[in-house]
Amino acid sequence: MGAPLGLLFVALILAVDGWLLVWLIDGNIRPQEINFLSYLVGLIVLVSLPVLLVLAYQVASCLTLRYHLDRNGVIVRWVGNEQVIPIRDIQQIVPGHELKNPPVRRRGLRWPGHERGVGMVPGIGRTRFLATQGLAQQVLLVTPGLAFAISPDDPEGFLHGLTVRRELGPNRLLERELRKARAFTWPIWRDETAWVLLGAAVAINLALFGYLSARFPGLDFQLPLHFNNLGQADRIGIKMELFALPIIGLIILGTNLVLGLALYRRERAGSYLLWGAATAAQALFWLATFSIVP
């Protein structure tokens, strides 16, 4: 059930986003009736994008979850990740139906047919769930300090195969480890400086969109958009052109983001400089807005 339910969640979010975008474009942007509600709707669509990515990853995890058993251990694979469980580390094998449905405290995204995350199982301890069935259909492999809950299609066959391989003994020593997909090992995920710089740039840019949306209904249709050295207006335009300021800021942010990522491994300081410059550019567009909007 995990994959169909996940796909249903993704489809619902896409449908709502599509309806909101049609309403936003036809009802607000085209007739130039933008207001703060328009901004909030656009923000909801924007925030839904990372939610969609997380859900898509979880659905892919459910669809690609596989177990490989040999005399050296159990290897669980999903979306390029691997959890290695050495057979010599397995101290106890507990069928889930023997636990009598204990209250399990668990972290992580989950829904019926998709059990992934870390939790505490009474009598077992800290447990990592990598399963597509409920606790009653799971098999818990207890190792020092951490148990693993998996859900083979044939639990009895799996337990028999595991018992036979434990009796044979390993012919190659494995270490218990979680091998993450390459994309999840990039150092930028743990770089607080990078996230602060990029987060500040995004926040300032979105705030400018919000400010202009809130002020838009009360502005004159035509506004002075540029001033000469004497402080006199030398360019008049419609108020819709004000949104060129945050849009240009967004283009600068996207360009500097890509260039910074290209430099990141070789010259991290250069990446910080590019991302800091993108943040400063957003602040300058705020100043430009204050000089135009009365």
> pLDDT tens-digit profile of 198-241?
999 999 999 999 999 999 998 888 777 666 665 656 667 788 88
**Same-domain pairing of 92 and 122:** yes
Bridge pairing between strands 233-238 and 146-150: unpaired
Q: Count CB-CB contacts under 10 A for residue 33.
A: 12
Mean pLDDT of the chain: 89
**Same-domain pairing of 291 and 210:** yes
Distance CA 210, CA 256 (A): 23
Summarised one tens digit per residue, pLDDT across range 29-75 is 888 899 999 999 999 999 999 999 989 988 898 889 999 999 999 99
**Same-domain pairing of 60 and 70:** no
Share of the chain above pLDDT 70, in %: 95
Would you state the pLDDT for residue 20?
96
**Same-domain pairing of 175 and 206:** no
**Same-domain pairing of 287 and 218:** yes
Query: Residues near 159 by Cβ (< 8 Å), separated by ≥ 6?
Result: 93, 95, 139
Query: Residues near 191 by Cβ (< 8 Å), separated by ≥ 6?
Result: none
**Same-domain pairing of 277 and 254:** yes
**Same-domain pairing of 261 and 245:** yes
- Residue 247: phi and psi, rounded to 5, are -70, -45
Q: Where among 64, 80, 111 does a domain terminate?
A: 64
Residue labelled with tokens 């910080």: 272
**Same-domain pairing of 40 and 87:** no
Give me the number of domains the chain comprises.
Answer: 3
Summarised one tens digit per residue, pLDDT across range 100-149 is 766 677 777 777 788 888 988 888 889 999 998 888 889 999 999 999 99
Distance CA 275, CA 262 (A): 12
Q: Where among 151, 181, 211 does a domain terminate?
A: 181
Helix axes 244-263, 268-292, angle to 10 degrees: 180
Distance CA 214, CA 3 (A): 41
Q: What is the DSSP string of 114-180?
A: EEEEEEEETTTEEEEEEESS-GGG-EEEEETTEEEEE--SSHHHHHHHHHHHHHH--SS----EEE-
Residue 246, classed as helix, strand or coil, is helix
Q: Could you tell me how far CA 121 lies from the centroid of its own chain?
A: 27
The pair of three-digit structure tokens given for residue 80, joined into one six-digit string: 């390029």
Instruction: Tell me which residue range forms the domain holding 149.
Output: 65-181
